[in-house]
Structure 1
Amino acid sequence: MRQNAGANPRRNPRTAPLRSVGCPGYAALGGPGNRGHRGPAALRILALKLFGLPPDLQRPKTPLRLRACNTLGMALRKTKIIATIGPACDEPRTLASMIEAGMNVARINLSHGTFDEQRARIERVRSAAQQKEANLAILIDTRGFEIRTGPVEGGGAVLVAGQPFALHCTPTAGDEHGVSVSFNGIAEILKVGDRVVIDDGKIELVVSALRQGRVDCEVTCGGTLRDRKGVNLPDTQLIRDDLDEGSHADLDFAAEIAADYVAASFVQTGKDVDEIRRHLESRQTTIPIIAKIENGLGVQNLETIIERANGAMVARGDLGVELPVTQLPHIQKHIIRTTVSRGKPVITATQMLDSMERNPRPTRAEVSDVANAILDGSSAIMLSGETAAGLHPVEAVSTMAELALSAEASLEEYGTLQNVVGNPSDAIVEAVAQAAITMAKHIDAAAIIALTDTGFTARSISKFRPHCPIFAVTGSESVRRRLAMNWGVTPILYPGHGDDDESIEFAVRYGSERGHLRPRDVIVATAGRSQMSGGTDMIQVRRV
C-alpha cells in the first residue's frame, strides 16, 4: 500500500462519500464514477497507481494477521475443511460441535454403510447445519470400481509375514487363512509374483499361485486385517470402459439426496468424467464432479481429467500404493497446481491427522504435512477415519482449523501459487479477477465482494489466492452451498432482488455484523450480472 498517498501532488483530495474510486482523471480512465459506466479494469488500477488512494479511503493499519486473530468466524480461515461422517460422529451434538469447530463440507463415504444408513446420516448433518445457521456442503464419495475385502470373523484377523493367505472370488468368511474380495475376476488379471496391497499398504501379499476362483498368496508384510478394506494391485493396470451397476446406484443416490458434490473414485481418463456427467444429467442434475486421482493413469491423464471435471482430489492413500511412495510429494504438488490453474478446487486427503484416530493431539510430522498441503495451494483438506471412526472427531476438526490458520499466515512468504498461470479460455473474467485482486492488495482491502449468479466469479477470484476474504453474494442456495468448498470464499445468500448496489450493501452489513468488517475499512466489489457464467465485467472500490 502507498505509505505517503497524501504527499502525492497530482492527487486532489476527495471527501464525498465513496461510490467508486475517487482520484483526478479516474473517470476519464474508465472509472465507474456513475453506476452506468464500466471502463477497463486495467485502467482503473493505473489510476490508483498514479494518483494514490484518498485519505478518507485509507483503512487503519492493523496487521492482517492481527485482524485474523481478533475476528471471530470461519470466514477468516481460507482453506476449507472436509470431515467424513461415520459412527464416531453420528450424534447430533457431535455434528453440531464439528460445525462449530470449522467443518465446511460433510463427506459421505458410500464404501461403508447402506443407502438408508447414509440417508439418515445426511438428514442429521443437514439438521445440525440448519440449527447452527451454517453453510455446509454435502460431498458424496462414490465407490467407483474398487476392490475391497469381505467381512472378517471377529472383526479382525492377524496376518504374519511368511504365512500363506488366499483371496477368494466367492463369498467366504474371512480369517487368518483367507478372505473374499469384491471383484470376482481378480484371478484372471493377476499373475504369479504380482503384489496385492491391502488397507493403504498396511498389509502386502505376493501371488504364489492362481487357481479356479482363488488366488494363493504369501504374506510379505503382516498386520491386522479388518472388514471391507481397500485392495490395490500396483503391478496390474485395470481399465474399465463402462460404469458398473454399483456406480450407477451411487450416482442415483447422490441425485436423490441433492448432493452438492460427487467425488468420483478411480477416475483414469477424461472419458470417465464424461460418462459420470452423462449419467447425472440423465437424472436431471448438474452436481459438480470431483475427480479422485488415485493411480498412474489418473496422473498421466491429469490435464484432460481436470479440463472436464469440476475439481480434483489428491487421494494419497491409493496413490501411495499404486505408485512409488517417494513420488507422492511431487505428484501432490503437480495435481494441486494443475487444478488451481484451471480455477477449480482441489482437495488433499488421507492420513492428514491419522494419529488423532487414537490420540487427542497430532504428531509433529502431521502438523507439518497439513501446513505444507496448504502452502502447496490446497483448496480443502480432508479428514477421513479421524472423524468417521476416531476417538476425537471434534478435536480433529478444531486442530485442523488451527493448523490452517497458522499456515495461511505464511502463505505470502512460503506459498507456491503466487504466480499461478491463467486459463486463456476465460481471459476476460480472469483479467477482471486479477484486477480486483491487484487493487485489493494495493489498497489493503478488508474484503473482496463478488456478486455471482453461478459462483464462477468467486471461483475465478479464489484461483489467485487474494490476501483478504472473498464475500460471494448469490441468490442461489445451491450455489451458496457449493462455494463452501472454494478457498477463501465466504458464501452469502442474498434473499432480495435489488441491484448491484443493494447486493454490495447487503454483503457489507453481513461482514460488519459478524466483525469481519469495521468502519472505514475499504472493500473491492466486482460484478457483471449477465445471468450467465463468465459475465463479470465491473470493479468498484468502497469504504465501509
Structure 2
Amino acid sequence: MNSNHLLLEEPIRMASILEPSRPSYFPSMTKIVGTLGPKSRSVEVISRCLMAGMSVARFDFTWGDAEFHQETLENLKLAIKKTKKLCAVMLDTTGPELLVVNKSDQPIPLEADSFVVLTPDQEKEASSNLLPINFSGLAKAVKSGDTIFLGQYLFTGSETTSVWLEVSEVKGDDVVCLIKNSAVLAGTLYTLHVSQVHIDLPTLNDKDKEVISTWGVKNNVDFLSLSHTRSGQDIREAREYLSKLGDLSQTQIFAKIENVEGLVNFDEILQEADGIILARGNLGIDLPPEKVFLFQKAAVYKCNMAGKPAVVTRVVDSMTDNLRPTRAEATDVANAVLDGADAILLGAETMRGLYPVESISIVGKICGESEKVYNQDSYFKKTVKYVGEPMSHMESIASSAVFNFKIT
C-alpha cells in the first residue's frame, strides 16, 4: 500500500494544515454574538467588531442602565451605516440571578478555612465575614453540605476572584459557609450560584419586564435571551408577554440553559424556544466539569435535528486579558463547530476585555477552518433519517438548492 493511498484515507490532509487560512473577507457561516460594553461601545470599536465578523450584538442587562445601553445601541446603528454590515440586536435578561451586594466597592479578602455569613439584609456592609445578597429565600433553599459558588469568574474568566463555599449551617435567614479557597472580591458585581438547588424566583422578573416593555419595544429587538430558563412554561410565559406588547410579537426567544433544571426539561424547552444558548459558565458550576461536554454534544445534536440554532458560550475566556487564545480554547471553538453549533457567543471577551476585535476575529477564523472539514454529507444523511421521508415540498426545494450549489 503506497503513501498516496494512506493520505486519501486520512480525514484531514496533513498538508492542508500548512495552507493559508481562509481570507477574512469570507466570513464563517457560524455566527458570532458579541456582547457590547465598556470596552466595545464606541462607533470605531463596534465598526471594527462588525468588520471582524460580529453579526449579533448582545446587550446584557445584568449590569448597566437603559440609558447606557441606549447610547451603545445608537453607536451600533452608526457603525452599521458606516460599515454596511448587518447586525441583529439581542436583549439578555437578568432572570433569577443571585448577586452579592457590595455598596462600598472596596475589595473583600476571603481566607480559606474561615467562615462567612450570607445574609439577605442588604443594609449591612459587606466584609470578610459578612456578605449581603439580593435573595431572602437562600436559607430555605439550602442545607448543610451544599456547594455555593460566588465570584466574577462568570463575567471575567478570572479564577483569582472565584470562591467556593460549603454550607455549614443555617441560622434564621442567614447561611453560614466555610470558605474553601482564598480569594479577593474586588468590584461591585458578584454572582452567586448554588449547585443543583431550585431558586424560587420568576424566570422573567419585574425588572426584566420593565426593560423589555421600554428599551426592548423602543428598539424592536430581534432576539430575547431568556436567562436561567428552567422549563417549557418559562418560554410560553415569555412569549405571551411579548405578544401582549405587540411590537415584539416577532422577536425570537432563545432559551439560556444554565442549570440542571434546564437540562432535565431540555426537550420541552427546545420544543417551545426558537433557539438554545448553552451557558457553559453556570453549567460548569451546576454540573461536574467532566459532564459539561456530554451535555453540549447531546444538546447541540438535538438542536440540529429540530432545526433550531444552538449557541455555545464561554470559549476564549483568556482573551479577556490576552491577545491570543490558549490552544485548548482554540480547539474548544473548533469542536463546538464540529459538534454542530450555529453560533459562538462572546461575553467578557468583548464586553470588558482588552481585545474585543481580536477575539471576534480569531474565533471567526477558527470557525472558518472548522467548517472547511465539517462533514456536510454525514449531517445531511442524519437529518433526513431523523426527519423521515418523504420530505415536505419546501424541504425538498431547499435541499435540492443546497445540493446543486455544492456540486457547482
TM-score range, shorter chain: 0.7 to 0.9
Aligned pairs for 1:44-193 within 5 A: 69=22, 73-74=25-26, 76-151=27-102, 153-171=104-122, 172-193=124-145
Q: Percent identity?
A: 27
Q: CA deviation at 1:220?
A: 1.1
Q: CA deviation at 1:416?
A: 6.4
Please tell me whether the aligned partners of residues 137 and 200 of structure 2 are also in contact (alpha carbons under 8 angstroms). no
Q: CA deviation at 1:233?
A: 1.0
Structure of larger gyration radius: 1
Question: Which residue of the other structure, out of 249, 265, 268, is the alignment partner of 2:227?
Answer: 265
Aligned pairs for 1:206-355 within 5 A: 206-226=166-186, 227-240=188-201, 243-252=204-213, 253-284=215-246, 285-286=248-249, 287-350=251-314, 352-355=315-318
**Alpha-carbon distance in 2 for matches of 1:121, 1:318:** 26
Question: Which residue of the other structure, out of 420, 423, 435, is the alignment partner of 2:400?
Answer: 435
Gaps of 5+ in 2: 1-15
Q: How many pairs were matched up?
A: 377
Question: Which residue of the other structure, out of 379, 387, 396, is the alignment partner of 2:350?
Answer: 387
Q: Which structure has greater helix proportion?
A: 2
Deviates more, 1:208-217 or 1:101-110: 208-217
Letter in 1 for 2:316: L
**Alpha-carbon distance in 1 for matches of 2:377, 2:335:** 9
Q: Structure 1 pair 357/415, CA: closer, same or farther in 2 (3 Å)?
A: farther
Q: Structure 1 pair 155/374, CA: closer, same or farther in 2 (3 Å)?
A: farther
Q: CA deviation at 1:147?
A: 0.9
Letter in 2 for 1:128: A
Deviates more, 1:283-292 or 1:176-185: 176-185
Deviates more, 1:409-418 or 1:241-250: 409-418
Letter in 1 for 2:133: V
Q: Structure 1 pair 422/251, CA: closer, same or farther in 2 (3 Å)?
A: farther
RMSD: 2.6
Question: Which residue of the other structure, out of 323, 344, 353, is the alignment partner of 1:360?
Answer: 323
Secondary structure of the corresponding residue to residue 77 of structure 1:
coil
The alignment status of 1:410 with 2:346, answered yes or no, reads no
Deviates more, 1:180-189 or 1:242-251: 242-251
Q: Structure 1 pair 389/401, CA: closer, same or farther in 2 (3 Å)?
A: same
The alignment status of 1:419 with 2:394, answered yes or no, reads no
Please tell me whether the aligned partners of residues 270 and 304 of structure 1 are also in contact (alpha carbons under 8 angstroms). yes
Letter in 2 for 1:407: S
Deviations 1:353-403 (A, max 9, x none): 111111111111111111111111111101111111111111111111111
In structure 2, what is the equivalent of residue 518 of structure 1?
none
Please tell me whether the aligned partners of residues 293 and 313 of structure 1 are also in contact (alpha carbons under 8 angstroms). yes
Please tell me whether the aligned partners of residues 145 and 247 of structure 1 are also in contact (alpha carbons under 8 angstroms). no
**Alpha-carbon distance in 1 for matches of 2:55, 2:39:** 18
**Alpha-carbon distance in 2 for matches of 1:178, 1:415:** 56
Letter in 1 for 2:197: T
TM-score, normalisation: structure 2 = 0.86
Deviations 1:288-313 (A, max 9, x none): 00000111121111111111111000
Deviations 1:102-126 (A, max 9, x none): 1111111110111221121111112
Aligned pairs for 1:493-508 within 5 A: none
Letter in 2 for 1:181: I
Please tell me whether the aligned partners of residues 376 and 417 of structure 1 are also in contact (alpha carbons under 8 angstroms). no
**Alpha-carbon distance in 1 for matches of 2:380, 2:343:** 15
Deviations 1:54-82 (A, max 9, x none): xxxxxxxxx9x999946x635x4111111
Gaps of 5+ in 1: 1-62, 446-544
Secondary structure of the corresponding residue to residue 367 of structure 1:
helix
In structure 1, what is the equivalent of residue 8 of structure 2?
none
Q: CA deviation at 1:156?
A: 3.0
Letter in 1 for 2:51: E
Aligned pairs for 1:439-518 within 5 A: 439-441=404-406, 444-445=407-408
Q: Structure 1 pair 279/167, CA: closer, same or farther in 2 (3 Å)?
A: same
Question: Which residue of the other structure, out of 361, 364, 370, is the alignment partner of 2:333?
Answer: 370
Question: Which residue of the other structure, out of 347, 351, 361, is the alignment partner of 1:398?
Answer: 361
Q: Which has the higher contact order (CA 8 A, sep 6+)?
A: 2
Please tell me whether the aligned partners of residues 160 and 221 of structure 1 are also in contact (alpha carbons under 8 angstroms). yes
Letter in 2 for 1:300: V
Deviates more, 1:415-424 or 1:153-162: 415-424
